[in-house]
């Protein structure tokens, strides 16, 4: 089933998260507000789009309600020392990485849709590259790594486990088995 949603901001991101949980089989397309986009410090900032990406990618800061989880503010603090940071708005260090990549790609004449797809695609490509090098390292298949990956994929897709605990749990389990065996 194809579902198209027009959304924006934190509320839209949470709605999409709930919709994805309620109808996991849906092919979900989000048309996200760009009316609040701004260029600051030469970087293209898309706050509503970022809220949706971070929330659906399980990287949003649930405690603060916006931005990235485990965010740091060293660049914002340094800009404030220069008197260059607006008091009403701040960019976190992790968030700035997103804006740097987006701005560079937009400057290369890519559309915002293409840039967003590429950022999401980079994460998928890294996972595939890593998997191929782990499972088929050397001349034989690493069946333990393949089994751990299979369980992780089931956890993520079927049981909707969060990404960070799956990564940490998979790594710790694999390390433990290698140390014992």
- Which phi and psi (to 5°) does residue 43 adopt? -105, 140
Number of domains in the chain: 2
Residue 85 has pLDDT above 60, yes or no: yes
Residue pair 110/131 in contact (Cβ under 8 Å)? The answer is no
| Domain encompassing residue 67 | 2-135
pLDDT at 138: 63
* Same-domain check for residues 131 and 150: no
pLDDT, average across residues 28-33: 87
The pair of three-digit structure tokens given for residue 7, joined into one six-digit string: 């959304």
* Same-domain check for residues 113 and 69: yes
How big is the CA angle at 65 (ends 63 and 71), to the nearest 5 degrees? 70
The pair of three-digit structure tokens given for residue 14, joined into one six-digit string: 């949470």
Of 97, 105, 179, residue with least CA distance to 144: 179
Question: Quick count: other Cβ atoms within 10 Å of Cβ 88?
Answer: 5
pLDDT at 15: 92
- Which phi and psi (to 5°) does residue 153 adopt? -65, -45
Task: Return the SS3 of 47.
Answer: helix
Ordered DSSP codes for 50-104: HHHHHHHTT-B-TTTSSSBTT---HHHHHHHHTT-S-TT----HHHHHHHHHHHH
* Same-domain check for residues 60 and 35: yes
Radius of gyration of the chain (CA): 19
* Same-domain check for residues 53 and 64: yes
The pair of three-digit structure tokens given for residue 65, joined into one six-digit string: 């309600």
Contacts of 97 (CB under 8 A, 6+ apart): none
Query: pLDDT for 89-135, tens place per residue?
Result: 788 999 999 999 889 888 887 677 777 776 666 556 656 666 666 66
Contacts of 45 (CB under 8 A, 6+ apart): 37, 38, 39, 91, 99
Residue pair 69/55 in contact (Cβ under 8 Å)? The answer is no
CATH number for the domain including 62? 1.10.8.240
Residue 137 has pLDDT above 70, yes or no: no
* Same-domain check for residues 103 and 152: no
* Same-domain check for residues 98 and 35: yes
pLDDT at 121: 62
Residue 164, Cα to own-chain centre: how many angstroms? 11
pLDDT, average across residues 1-23: 89
What integer best gives the mean pLDDT of the chain?
A: 82
């Amino acid at each position: 089933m194809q579902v198209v949603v027009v959304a924006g901001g934190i509320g839209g991101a949470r709605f999409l998260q709930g919709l994805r949980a309620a109808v996991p089989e849906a092919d979900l397309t989000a048309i996200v507000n760009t009316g609040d986009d701004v260029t600051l410090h030469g970087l293209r900032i898309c706050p509503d789009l970022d809220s949706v990406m971070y929330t659906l990618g399980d990287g949003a800061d649930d405690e603060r309600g916006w931005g990235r989880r485990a965010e740091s503010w060293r660049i914002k603090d340094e800009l404030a020392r220069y008197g260059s940071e607006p008091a009403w708005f701040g960019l976190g260090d992790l968030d700035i990485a997103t804006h740097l990549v987006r701005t560079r790609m937009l400057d290369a004449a890519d559309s915002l849709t293409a840039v967003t797809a590429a950022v999401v695609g980079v994460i998928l490509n890294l996972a595939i590259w890593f998997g191929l090098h782990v499972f088929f390292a050397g001349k034989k298949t690493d069946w333990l790594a393949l089994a751990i990956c299979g369980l992780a994929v089931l956890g993520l897709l079927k049981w909707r486990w969060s990404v960070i605990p799956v990564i940490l749990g998979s790594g710790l389990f694999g390390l433990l088995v290698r140390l014992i065996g």
